[in-house]
Amino acid sequence: MAVEIKMPALSPTMEEGTLAKWLVKEGDVVKSGDIMAEIETDKATMEFEAVDEGTIGKILVAEGTDNVKVGTVIATLFAEGEDASTPVAAPTAPAAAPTPAQVTEAEETGTGEGKTTTPEPLKTNADTPVPAEIPEGTELVKMTLREALRDAMAEEMRADPRVFVMGEEVAQYQGAYKVTQGLLDEFGDKRVIDTPITEYGFAGIGTGAAMGGLRPIVEFMTFNFAMQAIDHIINSAAKTNYMSGGQMRCPVVFRGPNGAASRVGAQHSQNYGPWYASVPGLIVIAPYDAADAKGLLKAAIRTEDPVVFLENELLYGRTFEVPKLDDYVLPIGKARIMREGKDVTLVSYSIGVGLALEAAETLAGEGIDAEVIDLRTLRPLDTATVLKSLKKTNRVVVVEEGWPTCSIASEISAVCMEQGFDDLDAPVLRVTNEDVPMPYAANLEKLMLVSADKIVAAVKSVLYRS
């Protein structure tokens, strides 16, 4: 669906500005990081970058227009295959669910007349059998990852009035990356709440609300900013169940973009997956495609434990196929085999899965059959799927868009050595980012990041074909 491009707030105090110059025109194809316009304020002239891939649809505000309010729709962006007839993204909306203040005891427990059915909380056990995730004959629809996330939240908010969303710019601006687009219109400002720029404050409020019986979804504009709130995530949310002897749970979801984006420098390009996955009491999820993002976010909202849900900014605008089901929910703690193979196992998660699949296609052209595993959940790790694949291929390469030291790749390597040593015909190799802070310069950033070419080279090494 078409995405609205809105006048950005380029500083915390900006309320309006002049759209000085368009650097794109209708019909131009843009990708994340491309400069689309120059915007003037009373303090400076700044460049406005695209956050998605797509084609510029309609330019709604002409260049040279003064006093354009922040949040004004200035253009539309179409994904591949869309055109001017495509409606602007907004969640499909039955009657709005009641606000938390309207929830009765009968509604919360799912009993009584006129009740709202509350979905059953999900258990997380990597040893339980996996049901057929997509029934045969299910229709698949194309949507972007951001649309899948939005639909997951909207569906759970309709089903359970205890669910609400809070964070910076999630309401009036409809999300810094437009993930919450349309939610304010459907659910109102009691359930879609804009917060001040204080991650420590609103993460604490969300944690307390979860302890009090609600089900908050706390959006961080980026997980780099969540470092301000890490005490609440780890010391309050993650440890509550254990320290209360099981008497108090904390069903909160902390979600937002994680990992490297495009030329945003060292302080905004870190992968926090390994950080949070080392903490007992947390569930950590890092999906790759839209189907997994939707199914796992719905599961995260329903579980009784705190979840860190790590998205990738560069994947928000990508289009994937999603099953068209009334209630598509996936099991937490189960990896997914993305591609069958017999010569080597590639293990990854999040954006690294796409690179692993790209490398597997290159390797197939050279007669090497690679199996690709998407971990999907980083805690709990589905080690059984990895070890079963290792038993078949006898070689493992772990791909991670992050630093190598104390990484998920390190953990998988240790698991393979400790539990699958007899199946290994070569050392486990890690393909990660370089062990340095992220450079800002585009050429250095490219050298620093993991790539399909580096994965291909590692695979040839474990197969002794270097």
Cα(111)–Cα(136) distance, integer angstroms: 34
Helix axis angle for 383-393 and 408-420, nearest 10°, is: 60
Concerning whether 268 is annotated as a catalytic residue, the answer is yes
Contacts of 45 (CB under 8 A, 6+ apart): 20, 38, 39
With beta carbons less than 8 A apart as the criterion, state whether 424 and 463 touch. no
- Cβ atoms within 10 A of the Cβ of 442, count? 11
Say which of 268, 313, 371, 400 is annotated catalytic.
Answer: 268
Say which of 199, 219, 311, 371 is annotated catalytic.
Answer: 199
Concerning whether 311 is annotated as a catalytic residue, the answer is no
Contacts of 378 (CB under 8 A, 6+ apart): 273, 274, 276, 277, 284, 285, 286, 310, 349, 408
Specify the residue for token string 């320290």.
Answer: 243
Give the residue from 50, 35, 44 showing the smallest Cα distance to 11: 44
Exposed e or buried b per residue across 380-409, where buried means at least 16 C-beta atoms within 10 angstroms of its C-beta: bbbbebbbbbbeebbbbbbbbbbbbeebbb
With beta carbons less than 8 A apart as the criterion, state whether 429 and 390 touch. no
Chain-centroid distance, C-alpha 181? 15
Give the residue from 410, 381, 378, 376 showing the smallest Cα distance to 396: 410
Residues forming the active site: 199, 268
